[in-house]
Amino acid sequence: MTTTTVDVVESATTHTLNRSVGFWGLTFISLGSIIGSGWLLGALTAAKTAGPASLLSWILAAVMLAVLALIHAELGGAYPASGGTARFPLFAFGVLAGFTAGWATWLQAVAIAPIEVEASVTYLNQISWVKTHLNLLHDNSTLTGSGFFWATLLMLVFICVNIVGVKLLSDSNAVTVIWKTAVPVLTVVVLVSLTFHASNFTAGGGFAPYGAHGVFAALPAGVVFALQGFEQAIQVSGEARNPQRDISRAVIVSTLIGVTVYILLEVAFIGALDPAAIAHGWDNPIGKGNFGPYASLAAGLGAGWLAYVLYADAFISPAGTGLVYIATSARATYAMGRSGSLPPVLGKLTNRGVPLASILLAFVVGELMFLPFPSWQALVNVVTSATAIMYAFAPVSLTALRLRDPDRRRPYQLPFPRVLAPVGFIFANLIIYWGGFDTLLKLIVAIFIGRVLFEITLALTKPEDRPEIDWRATSWVWPWLCGDLVIGFFGQYGKGVLKKLPEGIDDLAIAVFSLVIFYFAVHVAMPSEKVSEMVAAQKAELEVAEAELHLAN
């Protein structure tokens, strides 16, 4: 970087870069992402998959994601930069690993908006007038033609707000998050006070009617999806007032609040069910074709007013989360467009400071998501596995950076890092495995498409402007993904599997394979001097990009 550019960066960031987000602002950003459509539909999906043992699914997911959250908390405090989940592997393993993590981040973020839209449509279709006159859903919860039209309309609203008024949304985020947290808490209090059948926790085949398989299968079916989102505070850490102090605290506090709320919701849901509805199984605990669990329970218990509050929240909670993730996905492609990993048009801003091409791309891809995944449940599996791939980069990056950059100030330090970092990587891979072979296959195809775009972009870039790729440091990524796919093919989860690995042995195979990949990845990470150069270069690039963004505004 030339002296002139440095001067521009210093001037721009001094006068225009607004690092004003404090601890509670960061906490609300993460908590607002955690509490979305997952609370509206997650309990029903988990109960249908695991029965009362779905409580174990929530607890297991809470433990697994807590470990991953603590890992992200150390990385976020030590390396505060916007888009941190993609930056950490970039610092440790170079440009190609950073792009792969960034592409996985974009895949999960770009699918969140259509998921939240489908959640809103699913819940609103339970209103008798809507069901009679608009008929948004088929009996199997997939979108009808009318449902697709209204879902598209909601997506357009999300896009328009991001283009012309997303700042207004961010300014009112605290109020939105307080509402989104208060409504589920109110729902728990009302349902438990009206009725609670303790016998439901052993009904329909006992506490665990589907065994350990059901407990594990519930995680990618909505449980992990509901609890994810803690990383959003890290994604916007470039705007944090005191990132090294506040990011780790925000990640931990938002995760604890989210976990507590979701476990209480599952307890209240199971306790409020009609015992007759689950006496013979958990296939339809609130009735076939009914996909608004809490509203149906509230109406059946005489709390019709709560049902209307829930219908309102069915729009507010998913809409708030969907708007955030449209912005997140656009920001991801904007950053990759600026860095030369994707076509430069994605890294351009309008006169209003809006990455229009990136936002429009998020809309188009979001619309395409409705076609192969026309229901909330179908799309949740894909997003959960994509998120687990994104999370999996953090444990290996943390360990590699601790070895290559030992003098870095770390305001928060992961306890027992030699144990929890590899365990975190195992947890992420188990979530990927439980998501199913067919889901992972689709994601690997999507990641390969991203790699093709990356190579095309490099080929069209002048040789002197092409980023240097450390092939050795990235040599673990594709063996890792393909290895997970092979184990999944012989495992017990998903469609098209051989089921040759018995229950328990399959999980052990994932754990052993994960440890092999983990230590190999740490071994081949970039040397210390390259890590230092990458961190310095990316810090300067991010400052220029953020300064230009604020100057444009």
More confident residue, 177 or 519: 519
pLDDT bin (cut points 50, 70, 90) of residue 93 is very high
**Which amino acid makes up residue 210?**
Y
pLDDT bin (cut points 50, 70, 90) of residue 376 is confident
The CA-atom distances, in angstroms, between 21 and each of 30, 35, 361, 491 are: 12, 20, 28, 45
pLDDT at 203 over 60: yes
Report the C-alpha gap between 84 and 91 in whole angstroms: 10
pLDDT at 7 over 50: no
Contact, 272 vs 191, CB < 8 A?
yes
Helices 37-50 and 54-78 sit at what angle, rounded to 10 degrees?
A: 140
Contact, 326 vs 160, CB < 8 A?
no
Contact, 295 vs 126, CB < 8 A?
yes
Q: What is the largest CA-CA distance in the chain?
A: 75
pLDDT at 464: 83
More confident residue, 8 or 174: 174
pLDDT at 18: 47
Q: Which two tokens stand for residue 232?
A: 């959003």
Report the C-alpha gap between 121 and 362 in whole angstroms: 20
pLDDT at 551 over 90: no
pLDDT tens-digit map of 473-483: 999 999 999 99
pLDDT tens-digit map of 64-77: 998 998 898 888 88
State the DSSP string of 394-427: HHHHHHHHHHH-TTS--SS--SSHHHHHHHHHHH
Domain boundaries along the sequence of the chain: 3-552
Residue-averaged pLDDT of the chain: 84
Average pLDDT over residues 72-85: 77
**Strand-pair partners of 143:** 137
Contact, 61 vs 262, CB < 8 A?
no
Report the C-alpha gap between 126 and 289 in whole angstroms: 9
State the DSSP string of 61-81: HHHHHHHHHHHHHHHHHHS--
pLDDT at 204 over 70: yes
Stated as kind and residue range, the H or E segment containing 180 is helix 173-194
pLDDT at 289 over 70: no
Report the C-alpha gap between 117 and 37 in whole angstroms: 9
By percentage, how much of the chain surpasses pLDDT 90? Answer: 40
Residue whose C-alpha is closest to residue 165's, from 25, 323, 37: 323
pLDDT tens-digit map of 221-235: 889 988 888 877 776
pLDDT at 180 over 80: yes
Average pLDDT over residues 130-137: 88
pLDDT at 6 over 50: no
**End-to-end Cα spacing for the chain:** 25
CATH architecture entry for 3-552:
Up-down Bundle (1.20)
The CA-atom distances, in angstroms, between 129 and each of 1, 61, 132 are: 62, 37, 5
Contact, 125 vs 131, CB < 8 A?
yes
